[in-house]
A and B are shown apart, each in its own frame.
Chain A
Amino acid sequence: MDEFKPLTVDSLCWRCAPEQFTFKSTEDLEDLAEVIGQERAVEAIRFGIGMRRTGYNIYSLGPEGIGKHTVTRKYLEEQAKEEPLPLDWCYVSNFAEPRKPRVLQLNAGRGAVFQADMARFVEDVRHALRSAFESEEYRTRRQVLEEEFKERQEHALEAIEEDAKAHGITLLRTPVGFAFAPVSGGKVISPEVFERLPKEDRERIEADIDELQKRLHRVLHEAPRWVKELRDKIRELSEETAMFAVGHLIQDLRHRYGDLAEILSFLDDVQQDVVRNVETLAGVQEKPGSQGASAGSDDGHPILRRYLVNLLVDNSSLKHAPIVYEDDPNFDRLRGRIEHRAEMGALLTDLHMIRSGALHRANGGYLIVDARKVLTRPMAWEGLKQALLIREIRIEPLAHALGLFTTVTLEPEPIPLDVKVVLVGDRMIYYLLAELDPEFSRLFKVAADFDERIDRNDENNLFYARLVATLVRKEELKAFDSGAVARVLEHSARHAGDSEKLSTHIEKLADVLREADYWAGKQGRGMVGAGDVQRAVDSQIHRLDRVRELIQEEIRRGTIVIDTDGATMGQINGLSVMQLGGSAFGRPSRITARVRLGRGEVVDIEREVELGGPLHSKGVLILAGYLSAQYASDHPLSLSASLVFEQSYGGVEGDSASSAELYALLSAISEVPIKQCFAVTGSVNQHGEVQAIGGVNEKIEGFFDLCAARGLSGEHGVLIPDTNVKHLMLHSRVVDAVREGKFHIYPVKRIDQGIEILTGVPAGARGPDGRFPEGTVNQKVEAKLVELARRRRAFGRAAEREDGE
């Protein structure tokens, strides 16, 4: 039997020697300007930024807390500094179609000036119109027109009245209209007197009244035309006065904005509108104490508000192209919204209640949005895509976009969109979008894939130390001495789950630095040492350690049955990792196997009761393949085996226990007991090769803690795949026990190696005669399988006979 040696202490953990560093503390290190270990992502971001074609938006993908935002923003800022300021955008009235406000664009900073100019214009126009319309000249001219009209009417009626008087008739105005009546002595003749008049007189009066009524009818028929003429003349007078009053104000604005044809056109419209509404405007009263109409205020008269400017995007304070991060990317906050105010039970709006969205503010620059957030806000993803596809921003209520309501509201003119969008999210979302959303690939052609690990080498170690120094200064922490930095690097390797790698998870790193600084402060130290870092790490683990301790306790108390000494057939200690929130720890589990005569199936009880996942089931099925190929190549595999994770109630997934299951199965078949002082992890293939698994450190520590609690005998140990040795970053308590010979870790390449360690019996290799040596595990397994095959054949013949009889 070969003697398999456990791993030496050197292989169990990479220890970072502070002596390798030339600095004493992080104070001696410069800030890290570049990004370490993200060359692929940085190259992609640079490409995405530089590529000014449609659809070359960027998706920064990687795990949370890895620094995607920081890195992306850093390169966006570098680029944005080289880019020109974007335009200001304003909404102004569309006098032809009030529901569709017009959009105007001005150079950055000029929008605010234009807004202020129009606010001043509104103020001035009120005063100018009031002065003009209250002037004696205007009032006199208007009065002349009114007098002229009255006189015209009066003369016409007076002429009729004079004529009537000549015929002894008077014209009366009654509550129901005009009437003629004969008079005598200045008084209307009473009906009795009229009846006593001679017939010819009565007929003459009647004829005269008929004639007068005809004339009166003609006069009254003309009256509406005279009224219209008067109105027209007054309107002409008002327009002439208004043009004069506001003409110079408009002219001033024309001079200021002579280079902007659209604004000149708007000013023409304003002037025409002022003239059209001059009667109303001249009567606008200033509210006591008000400072006049201003943008966004509700003080202005509705007509005056039409001349004000809604400065939707004001870039006056920018120094370069904008970079906007929208923390709450819902539909409205991305595309802008139209607000309403409640008035007498009705919801009212106007162009001044149009509000910008993140796309407006980022137009001409960059917009950063969290992928998960934009996907979870109703219609936000669709709204963002639509804007990018049509390259313009349309502001519409969400209910309209969904087709839920058709109420009349504003339809602001769309704004052309030129923006580079950066989505930041995890990989799964990226892959799902790429798979399920055909438009995603058209719009986000650049994937910036962030790596969560970098190679550990001298150069990267120093970079990492500078990263620590940078974060220390950024967070205003105490300086870290070289020992503390070394411990941080070790922790980073452990976090990466690989002794040859370092984690790029900046957020986790920053957590450790902050907490180490806290513990150093508690100890009254001015500089953070390795002990403080260790305490920070241990405290983090301890805070989340309740469930691990609970399980360990239940094992120690025998509630969960795990043997750590003795030897048992068909029973082995497997190892699994439990991931709870931010905590991961190893948990030993008893795996048992039973065999009997059967048709060659290995029953996975976990799968039968739907507690086993597909990967676990795959691992178990591989066992049958291994058994058939290894032992039953020339006879049918005639056993029925069952495998179970004892006291497992929460489901099993992954194939990391498949080697342990195979060992248990071989033990059950061969009836060779397995030493319970060992635990096993590793998957196996059909050739009996043991393959790497995840969480090797947590698994080892989980079994170690149990054994240590029961008392280390010097026999205890864990079998791990040989390919996992490079991942070992074990806690010092394990390393120390190994150093003292109290605990052992065996790297295993093949099942044969493992079964020898576990049973103390040679596995045995086939000799030239094709047989395994007598007394080996393999020989016993094969003999048992041959015996089972023979019994199965005999059983089959007996059954056929019974059927024949």
Chain B
Amino acid sequence: MTERPETEVPRRILVALEGDEGAAALLEAVASLAAGLHAELVGLFVEDIALLDAAGLPVARFLPSHAQAHAALDAAMMQRALRISASKAGAALAAAAESRRVKWSFRVVRGTMQDLVLAEVQTHDLLALGASGRAVRRARHAVATRVVAQQAPCSVLLLSTARADERPVTVLYDGSQRALVTGERLARIYGRPLLVVALGESDEAAQALETRACDWIEQQGARGQVRRRAVSEAEEICEALRAQHPGVLVVDPEGELVRRFGLESLLGELRCSVLVLR
């Protein structure tokens, strides 16, 4: 049997939270991963300083999603709301981790998401972030998320709240061996099928990648499907990946294709969970 290529196995996973909405699903997914990797889970709840500043303004108002009218907003009220959110997120983390017997810790910090996470992640092997589907969050935080994803020294798992069910762990394969290895391991941990999408700039290139992926899967004695497609622009990559309905997409930013078209263009268009490798 061929020896598996060496990849670093994460031992400490940092999960960054900034609200309780969707936190439970996010934490369940990360806790499963941590259990599969026998890794420690570190929760970090960020009280966004921007929200506190906004609440302190004399023009501050808030409009609940299901309310008829605006209401006055002040800093104290915002602090209480953030404290409640943090408390819920901490409880969700504890429940998810303890049910899987995963070692865990949880802290609440105040500042900006981007700065705090980038500072904290230096001592971790994997960063897990929620990638909200809400437009407003996406608009404001997507930038921060993408910055973090690109600047973080470790791998980053951007977890979507979109339903994944039994959808496959999908590998964007443009020649990156790391992506293949990590994808296969992730599929085993989550108990989901492995799907390798071999993308080349020409049919020949895609076919060659497909052959290599098939060979590798066979050598590993693993189970998985390989599909190929020739792409010539970022939108085509996104379209090819969306068509496969990935559950988790494994992307290597050092891969040839991703480097050419840019990681940010992918992250901005895909709604599924994405594991960005380092």
**Minimum distance in angstroms from B220 CB to a CB of chain A:** 27
Q: Mark B125-153, 1 if CB is under 8 A from A, else 0.
A: 00000000111111110000000000000
Complex Cα distance A171/B137, Å?
Answer: 9
Binds B, one of A174-182, A250-258, A619-627: A174-182
**B134 and A173 contact, CB distance less than 8 A:** yes
Binds A, one of B47-55, B91-99, B188-196: B47-55
* A residues near B9, Cβ cutoff 8 Å: none
**Minimum distance in angstroms from A732 CB to a CB of chain B:** 94
Q: Give B140-189 interface residues, CB cut-off 8 Å to A.
A: 140
B78 within 8 A of A: yes
Complex Cα distance A140/B242, Å?
Answer: 10
A81 within 8 A of B: no
**Minimum distance in angstroms from A283 CB to a CB of chain B:** 10
Q: Give A154-190 interface residues, CB cut-off 8 Å to B.
A: 154-155, 157-158, 161, 170-182, 187-190
Complex Cα distance A158/B135, Å?
Answer: 7
**A190 and B51 contact, CB distance less than 8 A:** no
Contact residue among A150, A153, A213 (Cβ-Cβ distance under 8 Å from B63): A213
Contacts A174-B51, A175-B19, A178-B136; A216 near B63 (Cβ below 8 A): yes
B85 within 8 A of A: yes
**B81 and A191 contact, CB distance less than 8 A:** no
**A181 and B63 contact, CB distance less than 8 A:** no
Chain B residue with Cβ nearest A213: B70
**Minimum distance in angstroms from B186 CB to a CB of chain A:** 21
* A residues near B77, Cβ cutoff 8 Å: 176
Chain B residue with Cβ nearest A179: B62
Size bin of chain A's contact surface: 35 or more
A510 within 8 A of B: no
Q: Mark B69-98, 1 if CB is under 8 A from A, else 0.
A: 111010101100110110000000000000
* B residues near A177, Cβ cutoff 8 Å: 62-65, 67, 71
Contacts A178-B65, A179-B62; A190 near B53 (Cβ below 8 A): yes
Size bin of chain B's contact surface: 35 or more
Main secondary structure of the interface of A (DSSP, over half): helix
**B54 and A176 contact, CB distance less than 8 A:** no
**A172 and B140 contact, CB distance less than 8 A:** yes
* B residues near A194, Cβ cutoff 8 Å: 57-59
Complex Cα distance A217/B51, Å?
Answer: 20
Chain A residue with Cβ nearest B19: A175
Interface centre among A161, A175, A177 (most CB of B within 10 A): A175
A205 within 8 A of B: yes
Chain A residue with Cβ nearest B59: A206
Complex Cα distance A223/B70, Å?
Answer: 16
A520 within 8 A of B: no
**B54 and A181 contact, CB distance less than 8 A:** yes
Complex Cα distance A194/B57, Å?
Answer: 7
Chain A residue with Cβ nearest B141: A173
**B135 and A188 contact, CB distance less than 8 A:** no
Complex Cα distance A170/B141, Å?
Answer: 12
Complex Cα distance A175/B137, Å?
Answer: 12
B245 within 8 A of A: yes
Contacts A174-B55, A187-B50, A213-B70; A179 near B133 (Cβ below 8 A): no
* B residues near A191, Cβ cutoff 8 Å: 53, 56-58, 75
Complex Cα distance A181/B50, Å?
Answer: 9
**Minimum distance in angstroms from B170 CB to a CB of chain A:** 14
A143 within 8 A of B: yes
**Minimum distance in angstroms from B5 CB to a CB of chain A:** 32
Chain B residue with Cβ nearest A180: B61
**A209 and B65 contact, CB distance less than 8 A:** no
* A residues near B57, Cβ cutoff 8 Å: 181-182, 189, 191, 194
* B residues near A154, Cβ cutoff 8 Å: 135, 138
Contact residue among A139, A143, A170 (Cβ-Cβ distance under 8 Å from B140): A170
* B residues near A794, Cβ cutoff 8 Å: none
* B residues near A176, Cβ cutoff 8 Å: 62, 64, 73, 77-78, 81
**Minimum distance in angstroms from B71 CB to a CB of chain A:** 8
* A residues near B140, Cβ cutoff 8 Å: 170-173
Complex Cα distance A188/B85, Å?
Answer: 21
Chain B residue with Cβ nearest A153: B135
Contact residue among B53, B54, B67, B135 (Cβ-Cβ distance under 8 Å from A157): B135
Complex Cα distance A176/B77, Å?
Answer: 9
Contact residue among A179, A202, A205, A206 (Cβ-Cβ distance under 8 Å from B73): A179
A765 within 8 A of B: no
A220 within 8 A of B: yes
B60 within 8 A of A: yes
Interface centre among A150, A155, A202 (most CB of B within 10 A): A150
A interface residues with partner B (beta carbon < 8 Å): 136, 139-140, 143, 150, 153-155, 157-158, 161, 170-182, 187-191, 194-195, 202, 205-206, 209, 213, 216-217, 220, 223-224
Ordered by A's residue number, 11 sampled pairs between the chains whose C-beta atoms are within 8 Å are A158-B139, A161-B136, A172-B140, A176-B64, A176-B73, A178-B63, A179-B63, A181-B57, A181-B60, A189-B57, A194-B59
B interface residues with partner A (beta carbon < 8 Å): 19-20, 50-51, 53-67, 69-71, 73, 75, 77-78, 81-82, 84-85, 133-140, 245
Starting from the known contacts A139-B245, A177-B71, A220-B65, 11 additional A-B residue pairs (CB-CB under 8 Å) come to: A173-B137, A178-B64, A179-B60, A181-B53, A189-B57, A190-B56, A191-B53, A191-B56, A194-B58, A194-B59, A209-B61
